[in-house]
């Protein structure tokens, strides 16, 4: 629904935001319509970032880019896609800002020019030492045009490139200096390179299209959308290079199994994606099933809050034996241009977006499954909707553990003050949202939902324990205000 | 999905289109933000027409209107809503053209000026004698600015108004001349009037808002969206007048129970609406249950094609005992600005919009439920999606009977040539779409799905038998080309 | 400059506004790109109306139209011109509203459908009995969609058409009922018709293009812009018909020489137009020459206020022997999107648009020529500009007599309260604008400026004497508020 | 008129293009609406660049910028000006690209962040060693986001800033490394700095607003537009700093009188500007007068091609005694959105933009004055216009010498192949354009037109002799294609 942890109000359905989606395609056969591949792949990755997007196309070493604020469907037109033209390589990006302001300048891919030609970089994740790196670069005379991590990464690679034999060696040498989470797709004049931090916070996979094109994407759903076959996940710490010599891998920084963000399985990723071998949809069904075991209840129907609560609701129904029902109709026409109701009509806003099916819930004891509670206000409104539609009891079940700690690795789960679970007990939350009972998935339960994944997990937002060192302070606008101004 | 009976290709999810949604609000307390009420109500009625929309506001007898081609979210802005201003009465309309070209001129509400002031008319339905009426009017010196029925209706009412004591009497006298389907909301300088044809093809209901505002809408979901309470359906043949004397009814033309369009229950209406006392969602669940009885099969999972096939799929699962599963993920970001893939990539178009969940269907015998088959191409693509995702068997079930006859009453189910069921046997269709088996709901079954409705049904598109006389010929562009040009 | 008589503030250079420009083209050779002809002709007529514009194209009796608020350059795109398509006939219109609100509905050409097919009407002028005619029509059951005269004219023609043998006969019969000023271009399924009221207030001319196309336009500059040769003016009261029989004339209503608006020669028309045989540029030169005789002065330079004061300034210089100079630079980039300065910066607004050339006026006695003074504020600012640039003396000369009476015939010279010359003596005006002396062209002088014209003049705005009966009351919004509302 | 040296066809009136206009304002009194000052000043500088524009505002050291492709009137709205907010300092820029592609990325001011905070740079001119400087920077690890000189300048200043005591010292140290033409306005967190290359190719002046704001602008017309008083020109080689200590000057690099571009006086600058003490309008009058002496002829009228030929035509008339007349009407409504006529109608394009006044030229011997001939096609069309309007003889006079050599210093007078005067003799040109005689201003004559200027001139484009070393090769897209790609 439409609530946000941070200050920005948005029409989007998601309360918590992933930073970005990345995509790259390399055509060994020569110049092709790689911009179209990127366009359709970005549609599949739109859920990972709705603030800005961009595509850069490389034709014979010359890179053209188009990017802007807005959704893929609005930013790209037949005309500007045609102007990008055909090429051998393309990279694409969808962005939600965790670092750096919402501005056209911060849209990605970032395209820069350096001594060995042009480079385009698309980044998903968050560096924990970006401010320090930037300060060091500035002290050596660097100038910055944006406030995002990607420019820092580009600089580090460029600096290494001066003394490296190849762009991939430059990436390899830069990686130890980059702390935090990053899944990168990098385009040089002749190569497409994918790289993933050694912890493996964010997903990144490789595929191949029927004609032989090599593709990289944040999620497998992007491969499906363009008819590419899944090859494998990029490993934590791995660099994969695609060029006219074929595809090869640099594993210098590979150390252990990835610790992939557990909340990708619960919430961020699209249910039709498969991450580290685990179907996301199955993980959510399983979350619902475990939740049913951990928090059983007497009830007549199980319903999910669309769209992200439906999978877990079905799992809860399967495990509990309580019939699954469709409890809400969601209005599909709401978009950024929707005019929010005035204060007095604010209560109606949720009704316009979501309507309860009285015929399903009237007179019933209802289990309502959602995937998270952030500030609690949206949940409270949904409980009210159900009661007004005649529900006799409303038992809320959440298919994730409570958030108790910020995420430093590429999402906007931020300060503790804004997380209701840091402020109140579950009992208090239950009272605030007006439910008859409330149950969160346990951390132990959450760790079991993706049993098929061949990775470990980062569950720092649920436990406060992270698979890497955390920074002392984090601020989204860390580069906005210059630390010291002296003239 | 994205297939159409007629020639127009569209991004919309609906294969078959309803003509329109209508809305009206009267505030007995004085000038209020009735434009906002209309705006939010039209969001709830957007599924009934996505080509154009409009709102007219009446302040002290002076009517302002804003209307254009496009969705409610795109046509209306803070600025133009503010420019409409406050008023005592408003009417709104969402349109999909069954008669008249897609043009700005044809957008509704139609606002005209006549001897007794201004009038705004919003119309859902289709007159079967519009061409004759128009010809007669032209022969008496009338001129027309549009090619839609609504202007004909406006003329008839205006002509009657010359000799009638009131606008409602003019409506009453005009109704016997109007053949076919119409659910009207009419705004005069001081009154809001709702009227429904004597057969009652299209739904129309009345509600009341907490502060006392009287509202009329095509569906109850519009009442819910603005916090209005459902009062009752407008009866077939009834005229309801709201003015400073209160609300009163004229029943001169009421003859019998409405014969409401059966396909409203199966497909057109929003599932959270209640029509003639019958929950639409329940009717669809029931369609699925009856379908399971009529066309049982051995299978492992039942899945629905989103969004409109989900209700019936759940009903099928309930009745058959085969587990209900979520089989597809639908991309919510596709909109009118989406660039269709080139011919060579056409197969991918369906993948971008819809992805099958391999973890659900792989190795399984699948029952796939959808609400209609029009040309068959979309169904064929969806079957392919499932097979590629590993489905062992695909049994298609359709929660409506086959279309065998055109609709003359406000939908675009038109000529027989374009309906696959008029061209092929069910066995042939099954082969064409590539399914292992195919089953349509029987006409007898369809008549049972809305058992709770206190109305009869028009099921002419399934049977060829209509509750009213049908015209000799029907053409969407019936007014486009002047019948005879003489000078 | 940027001042207005009426309430509407506008970026446009013109203080006083002509109502409209009209254009029509008939191609005897078959379907051609007549929309392009209209597009380029409307560019040449843009000075006659900048509020809205439109083009209607007739292909084989079917009329397509595109019109909207805005300038020709903004309303028409390659796409919508292409959508209008080729045809045998086209009519075009540029509009500034003297009657009827500024709204998309009121844009012209008006396209209507009647018993004999479609008709498009483009109108320049103003009916003095429009309200009465409209009332009569409404009493016979007519409904109106707009608030402009053109719809009344369309109705009258249509009504006559019912019993007439041809559209031109219908026009002929309708004309005696239409009082006031009208220069019409009318397109029927197979004919293009031009008609001018019997007084001949507004200009209308006929031309022929090299390939044989017949064209009508408000001014000859439109003929030049499309390479058409001037044939002759349409006479006062004349109807000219172009169809597959050729071109023919109906002179039933021709009575005497036209009394063409004198202010067309002074101000409205483009200087490169020739009206009734008189070059407009020459008339303005002559106005300047006569002004120099009527109001001589000792001075060092003569300058004109661009653009419309330049011609008369040159004439003044010629007759007086005082050197002509370029005294101002005008910013050509100001347009509707220009953001007006805040109150405190208001003085700057005139500087942004107009800058005085200090090198020309510094230390000089300056004669500044403009073509009118409306409210006086703009003139006062320009005098200030000159003084600040160092002018020693500023002698203002106006190449028209003072406005003392409203215009009922198609311009916005309206109520006496808003005309400074009705409120103050010339001496007072001179003091208010801060000039050292002020001289207006005399009425007698004005009557001599167009000595080459084979017409008489309407100079009612300067004399209060009109060549036709005037209405009792005139209101731009005469149709806005229904006279009486009864239900 | 509408002809261009380079390949780009444009609607603009100018055949030859200046690179840019720059503006800066510093308010010692605190945060004010400096964005509005910049907005109105850029309107006055629009003629110096119509491709893109931008404004950057500094509030307490934090810089916000808005820039885009398009005219000032289209790029800026009330909303985005308000979003820029109030501040102590602002810089603005209008751009026509001589170096770097036409792209949003290349729009200025360039805003970068470095170790001492943010910096915004607006640049008019062209570096002749930009490619070398860029290469050196890249070799030290620099990355570039744009392809324009301004980024190179920004880097050099930033690098110097690391070891300099102040931003102005960094500018001072960077200047000797910058070869070619530059008039810069630079904004640091607390200072506004203006700097001009030691040759002084491009103009740059300083002014003061009534409330004490210090402003810099390319031309004095920008000062006039915002009510600022002219203080003085920035000297060649001078750096002027405005901050809370007041205004001070650094003259380390000042060597001699400026050699200002002579074509600024003839063509580029606005006639109401005063450059180096010389009125531009007077210089053009003088050019016309000298031309009359150099190329006298027997004729009846002298006319100028609007707008830029009018001043010289008046001068020609004054010196020759032949009467000055207004010979053309120019359509003021043409803009970027104008749809160019199809090939067959191409001849009409010039008629739509320009119409000859037959009453002025018919039967006359005409002297037609324009300020340049580039390819000759426009001149040929104008001569044809005059002949068709009845001119008996057409004598073309050009108020500048022929172009025989490229400009390396900030205009698009480029390769010799495209300059007609490098390809043909004057006699041949006269025949090609169809004139009866042709006369160009002599170089010696051109040097006398700005006798009042306290500067020398660069007239390299007329003589091939430049006041500074010229580069070996010049290419507008010099940074587009990386020189060498190695990986």
**Residue in chain A nearest D159 by alpha carbon:** A141
Is A135 close to D147, i.e. CB distance below 8 A? Answer: no
**Residue in chain C nearest D385 by alpha carbon:** C224
**Helix axis angle, B377-388 to B346-353, nearest 10°:** 70
Asked if the C-beta of A394 comes within 8 angstroms of chain B's C-beta atoms, the answer is no
**Bridge partner list, D393:** D365
Cβ neighbours of D81 in C, within 8 Å: 339
Tens digit of each residue's pLDDT (9 = 90 or more) over A303-320: 999 988 999 999 999 999
Dihedral, CA atoms, B134, B138, B140, B144, nearest 10 degrees?
90
Count CB atoms within 10 A of the CB of residue A307. Answer: 18
**C73: nearest CB among D274, D338, D348:** D338
pTM for the model stands at 0.91
Is B479 close to C112, i.e. CB distance below 8 A? Answer: no
Confidence of residue A142 (pLDDT cuts 50, 70, 90): very high
**D143: nearest CB among A112, A480, A487:** A112
Tens digit of each residue's pLDDT (9 = 90 or more) over C353-370: 999 999 999 999 999 999
Q: Which chains touch D (3 or more CB pairs under 8 A)?
A: A, C
pLDDT beyond 60 at B106: yes
> Mutate which of A81, A228, A272 to disrupt the B interface (most B C-beta within 10 Å)?
A272
**Residues B248, B240 contacting (CB under 8 angstroms):** yes
Q: Choosing from A20, A53, A221, A407, which is the catalytic residue?
A: A20
Asked if the C-beta of D154 comes within 8 angstroms of chain A's C-beta atoms, the answer is yes
| Residue A409 to residue D380: CA distance in whole angstroms | 67
Asked if the C-beta of C158 comes within 8 angstroms of chain B's C-beta atoms, the answer is yes
Is B143 close to C117, i.e. CB distance below 8 A? Answer: no
**The token pair that represents D356 in the structure block:** 């000859």
Q: H or E stretch including C353?
A: helix C346-353
State whether the Cα torsion A13-A14-A15-A19 is positive or negative: negative
Tens digit of each residue's pLDDT (9 = 90 or more) over B356-397: 999 999 999 999 999 998 888 889 999 999 999 999 999 999
**A141: nearest CB among D117, D144, D158:** D158
Cβ neighbours of A43 in B, within 8 Å: 331, 333-334, 338, 352
Residues 457-486 of D with CB under 8 A from A: 479-482, 484-486
Confidence of residue C348 (pLDDT cuts 50, 70, 90): low
CA distances from B333 to A311, B44, B330 (A): 20, 19, 9
Q: Choosing from D20, D261, D407, D461, which is the catalytic residue?
A: D20
| Residue B441 to residue B293: CA distance in whole angstroms | 10
**Bridge partner list, D25:** D90, D215
Is C155 close to B135, i.e. CB distance below 8 A? Answer: no
Is C342 close to D73, i.e. CB distance below 8 A? Answer: no
A-B CB pairs within 8 A amount to 153
Quote the pLDDT of residue C374. 80
Work out the mean pLDDT of chain A and round it to a whole number. Answer: 90
Is B487 close to C190, i.e. CB distance below 8 A? Answer: yes
Q: Where are the alpha helices (DSSP H) in B165-299?
A: 167-174, 220-225, 262-263, 280-294
**Residues B215, B32 contacting (CB under 8 angstroms):** no
Tens digit of each residue's pLDDT (9 = 90 or more) over B259-279: 999 999 999 999 999 999 999
Cβ neighbours of D191 in A, within 8 Å: 487
Region of poorest pLDDT, from A463-477, C89-103, D204-218: A463-477
pLDDT beyond 90 at A487: no
**The token pair that represents B103 in the structure block:** 């043009």
Quote the pLDDT of residue C346. 56
Asked if the C-beta of B114 comes within 8 angstroms of chain C's C-beta atoms, the answer is yes
Quote the pLDDT of residue C101. 57
CA distance C40 to chain B (A): 24
**Residues A119, A157 contacting (CB under 8 angstroms):** yes
3-state SS of chain D is CCCCCCCCCCCCCCCCCECEEEEEEECCCCCECHHHHHHHHHHHCHHHCCCEEEEEEEECCEEEEEEEECCHHHHCCHHHHHHHCCECEEEEEEECCCCCCCCHHHCCCEEEEECCEEEEEEEEEEECCHHHHHHHHHHCCCCECCCCHHHHHHHHHHHHHCCCCCHHHHHHHHHHHCCEEEEEEEECCCCEEEEECCCCCCCCEEEECCCCCEEEECCHHHHHHCCCEEEEECCCCCEEEEECCEEEEECCCCCCCCEEEHHHHHHHCCCCCEECCEEHHHHHHHHHHHHHHHCCCCCCEEEECCCCCHHHHHHHHHHHCCCECCCEEECCCCCCCCCCCCHHHHHHHHHHHEEECHHHHCCCEEEEEECCCCCCHHHHHHHHHHHHCCCCEEEEEECCCCCCCCCCCCECCCCHHHCHHHHCCHHHHHHHHCCCEEEECCHHHHHHCCCCCCCEEECHHHHCCCCCCCCCCCCCCCCCCCCCCCC
Asked if the C-beta of C294 comes within 8 angstroms of chain B's C-beta atoms, the answer is no
3-state SS class at B439: strand
Tens digit of each residue's pLDDT (9 = 90 or more) over C277-332: 999 999 999 999 999 999 999 999 999 999 889 999 999 999 999 999 999 999 99
| Residue B468 to residue B461: CA distance in whole angstroms | 13
Confidence of residue B3 (pLDDT cuts 50, 70, 90): very low
**Residue in chain A nearest B314 by alpha carbon:** A325
> Mutate which of D39, D284, D355 to disrupt the C interface (most C C-beta within 10 Å)?
D355
pLDDT beyond 80 at C99: no
Q: Which residue has the higher pLDDT, A386 or D96?
A: A386
B-C CB pairs within 8 A amount to 113
Asked if the C-beta of D209 comes within 8 angstroms of chain C's C-beta atoms, the answer is no
Asked if the C-beta of C45 comes within 8 angstroms of chain D's C-beta atoms, the answer is no
Asked if the C-beta of C359 comes within 8 angstroms of chain D's C-beta atoms, the answer is yes
What percent of chain C clears pLDDT 90, i.e. is strictly above it?
78
Asked if the C-beta of A40 comes within 8 angstroms of chain B's C-beta atoms, the answer is yes
**Residue in chain A nearest B13 by alpha carbon:** A332
CA distance A425 to chain D (A): 41
pLDDT beyond 80 at C486: no
Cβ neighbours of C44 in D, within 8 Å: 331, 352, 355
Work out the mean pLDDT of chain B and round it to a whole number. Answer: 90
Q: Which residue has the higher pLDDT, C330 or A374?
A: C330
Cβ neighbours of D347 in C, within 8 Å: 227
Quote the pLDDT of residue A102. 64
**Bridge partner list, C182:** C125
Quote the pLDDT of residue D97. 66
A-D CB pairs within 8 A amount to 116
Q: Is B422 a catalytic residue?
A: no
Residues 332-351 of B with CB under 8 A from A: 332-335, 337-339, 341-342, 345, 347-348, 351
Low-confidence ranges of chain D (pLDDT < 70): 1-16, 18, 97-102, 343-348, 415-417, 472-487
Radius of gyration of chain A (CA): 23
Count CB atoms within 10 A of the CB of residue A446. Answer: 26
Cβ neighbours of B52 in C, within 8 Å: none
Is B482 close to C111, i.e. CB distance below 8 A? Answer: no
Is D487 close to A145, i.e. CB distance below 8 A? Answer: no
Quote the pLDDT of residue B98. 55
pLDDT beyond 70 at A246: yes
Confidence of residue B485 (pLDDT cuts 50, 70, 90): very low
**C355: nearest CB among D46, D272, D331:** D272
Q: Which chains touch C (3 or more CB pairs under 8 A)?
A: B, D
| Residue A426 to residue B396: CA distance in whole angstroms | 45
CA distance C71 to chain D (A): 8
Is C352 close to D271, i.e. CB distance below 8 A? Answer: no
CA distance D3 to chain C (A): 18
Q: Choosing from B20, B261, B455, B458, which is the catalytic residue?
A: B20
Displacement of CA C347 from its chain's centroid (Å): 29
Chains D and B touch (3+ CB pairs under 8 A): no
């Amino acid at each position: 629904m439409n609530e946000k942890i941070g200050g920005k109000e948005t029409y989007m359905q998601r309360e918590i935001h992933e930073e970005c989606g990345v995509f790259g395609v390399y055509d060994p056969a020569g110049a092709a319509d790689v911009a179209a591949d990127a366009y359709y792949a970005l549609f599949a990755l739109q859920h990972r970032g709705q603030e800005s997007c961009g595509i850069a196309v490389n034709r014979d070493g010359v890179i053209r880019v188009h990017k802007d604020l807005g959704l893929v469907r609005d930013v790209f037109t037949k005309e500007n896609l045609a102007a990008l033209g055909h090429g051998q390589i393309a990279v694409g990006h969808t962005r939600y800002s965790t670092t750096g302001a919402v501005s056209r300048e911060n849209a990605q891919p970032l395209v820069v020019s350096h001594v060995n030609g042009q480079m385009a970089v698309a980044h998903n994740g968050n560096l924990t030492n970006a401010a320090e790196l930037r300060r060091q670069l500035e002290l050596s005379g660097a100038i910055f045009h944006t406030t995002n991590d990607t420019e820092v990464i580009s600089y580090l690679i460029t600096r290494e490139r001066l003394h490296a034999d190849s762009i991939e060696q430059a990436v390899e040498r830069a990686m130890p200096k980059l702390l935090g989470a990053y899944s990168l797709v990098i385009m040089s004049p002749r190569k497409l390179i994918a790289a993933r931090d050694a912890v493996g916070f964010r997903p990144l996979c490789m595929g191949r299209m029927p004609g032989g094109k090599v593709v990289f994407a944040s999620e497998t759903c992007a491969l499906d959308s363009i008819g590419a076959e899944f090859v494998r996940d990029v490993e934590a710490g791995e660099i994969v290079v695609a060029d006219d010599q074929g595809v090869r891998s640099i594993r210098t920084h590979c150390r252990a199994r990835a610790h992939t963000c557990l909340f990708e399985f619960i919430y961020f990723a699209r249910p039709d994606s498969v991450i580290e071998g685990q179907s996301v949809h199955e993980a959510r069904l399983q979350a619902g099933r475990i939740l049913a075991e951990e928090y059983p209840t007497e009830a007549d129907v199980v319903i999910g809050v669309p769209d992200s609560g439906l999978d877990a609701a079905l799992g809860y129904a399967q495990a509990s034996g309580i019939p699954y029902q469709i409890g809400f109709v969601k209005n599909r026409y709401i978009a950024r241009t929707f005019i929010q109701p005035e204060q007095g009509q604010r209560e109606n806003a949720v009704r316009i977006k979501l309507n309860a099916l009285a015929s399903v819930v009237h007179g019933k004891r209802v289990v309502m499954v959602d995937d998270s509670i952030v500030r609690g206000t949206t949940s409270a409104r949904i409980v009210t909707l159900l009661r007004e539609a005649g529900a006799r009891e409303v038992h809320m079940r959440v298919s994730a553990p409570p958030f108790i700690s910020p995420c430093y690795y590429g999402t906007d789960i931020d300060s503790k003050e804004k997380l209701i679970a840091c402020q109140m007990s579950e009992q208090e939350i239950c009272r605030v949202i007006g439910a008859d009972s409330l149950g969160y998935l346990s951390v132990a339960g959450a760790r079991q939902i993706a049993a098929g994944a061949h990775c470990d997990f980062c569950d720092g937002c649920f436990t406060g324990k992270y698979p890497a060192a955390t920074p002392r302070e984090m601020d989204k606008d860390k580069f906005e205000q210059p630390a010291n101004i002296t003239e």
